[in-house]
Amino acid sequence: MNSKWLKYRIKLGFTKLSLATIAMFIVPLNTSAASFKPYEVKAVYLFRIANFIRWNDESTMNTVNFCVIGDEKVSKALTSITQGKSIRSLAIQVHQLVTPKCDITYLSDLDNDEFSRKAHSPHTVTISDIPNFTDMGGVIELTHIDNKLKPKINLVNARRGEYVIGSNLLRIAIVEGQ
């Protein structure tokens, strides 16, 4: 086999994957048009976002633990979506409480003071749909723009973490900080 041809095919595959990823994040939030409930869309976003996070200690991890606080519907939808799936061969578990094992914590409908009082490990990626969540120290805010859900990522807050956010996610997100 020609190595140039193989490199071309690999590059083409990554390009197609990137385009599919970008298209996936442009999901309409209008539930009548898309026939998805807002909590289902949020659950899909949580799962998809997790695929673009690489933890520094991932080689020693056995599972990716999602902790969903304040929205039981999102938790149940995420449990249903992730059943039988994995992220880079890591099993997925969904919890409805904050534990030291949380790799991704989704907070919804919480008092602003409650978020700042909670201790979050630098290992944990914090995500919320609370307005101005990234201004309060959160890493990713799911914000509504033109009736669509879009991730807003605060790089200053993300750099405090023990993980890396993939460039394909950063490319389609609203990025704050440097």
What confidence score (pLDDT) does residue 32 get? 44
The per-residue pLDDT for range 97-137, each reduced to its tens digit, is 888 889 999 998 765 455 554 667 889 999 999 999 999 89
In which residue are the tokens 């609203």 written? 174
Q: Dihedrals φ, ψ of 121, to 5°?
A: -65, 150
**What is the C-alpha to C-alpha distance for residues 94 and 81, in angstroms, rounded to an integer?**
11
Q: Is 137 exposed, middle or buried (0-12, 13-18, 19+ CB in 10 A)?
A: middle
- Structural domain including 140 reads 3-176
Poorest-confidence range of 28-42, 44-58, 71-85, 145-159? 28-42
Q: Is the pLDDT of residue 19 over 50?
A: no
What confidence score (pLDDT) does residue 14 get? 53
How many CB atoms lie under 10 A from the CB of residue 24? 12
Alpha-carbon distances of 125 from 46, 68, 83, 134, rounded to whole Å: 11, 12, 21, 12
Structure tokens at 59: 């080689």
Cβ-count burial 60-93 (b if 16+ within 10 Å, e if not): ebeebbbbbbbbeebbbbbbebbeeeebeebebe
Q: Is the pLDDT of residue 12 over 80?
A: no
What confidence score (pLDDT) does residue 35 get? 83
Report field, pTM of the whole predicted structure over 0.85: no
What confidence score (pLDDT) does residue 126 get? 95
The per-residue pLDDT for range 30-58, each reduced to its tens digit, is 444 458 899 999 999 999 999 999 999 99
**What is the C-alpha to C-alpha distance for residues 122 and 81, in angstroms, rounded to an integer?**
26
Domains in the chain: how many in total? 1
Structure tokens at 150: 């879009």
CATH assignment of the domain containing 59: 3.40.50
Q: Is the pLDDT of residue 167 over 70?
A: yes
Poorest-confidence range of 15-19, 49-53, 98-102, 148-152? 15-19
